[in-house]
Amino acid sequence: MPRTRKAGFETSAPEKSCTDKNCPFHGQLKVRGNQFIGRVVSDKMQHTVIVEWISTKYIPKYERYKKVRTKLTAHNPTCINAIEGDLVRIGECRPLSKTKNFVVINVIGKLEKYALEKEALEEGKKHKAEKTKEEVKPQKAAAEEKEE
């Protein structure tokens, strides 16, 4: 069993162990620099998650704020195994690939609201698809009448 080491930040090591060399707890990866908290939007890639968070930026000309959405790819070690909808903390590390410069440090919790948002989005897409099918049928019927 590989030895766990202190990874350079204040969090406890996960209960599961792994043989991932890019794990900050069981491998040789050092975490340094920025740390962010965000939600996992996608976990479809192998050992990679897309983390998103929303912040506000002040626009002085209009004296208003605008929402800014940031998306980053992060390495997902097998001992942590964050899934879609989780609230996670990610830390900066050396470049692991062309776009991956962060690693998931720990899973903070589950977002209940995220599942409802995703379900509503899918329902809206389904409703929109049904609506377009209904609009296409009368157009085809009108085109057939013109031909006769």
pLDDT tens figures, 7-16: 566 777 788 8
- pLDDT, mean of residues 95-120: 85
- Output the pTM of the full model: 0.73
Domain contains 79: yes
Position 148 confidence tier, pLDDT thresholds 50, 70, 90: low
Domain that holds residue 38: 14-110
Calculate the alpha carbon distances from 14 to 6, 18, 26 in Å.
12, 10, 10
138 with 103, same domain: the answer is no
Domain contains 29: yes
Domain contains 83: yes
Cα angle 106, 111, 116; round to 5: 150
Domain contains 7: no
- pLDDT, mean of residues 49-56: 94
Which amino acid, 75? H
Residue 36 in this model has a pLDDT that exceeds 60: yes
What rounded mean pLDDT belongs to the chain?
Answer: 85
Instruction: State how many domains the chain has.
Output: 2
82 with 141, same domain: the answer is no
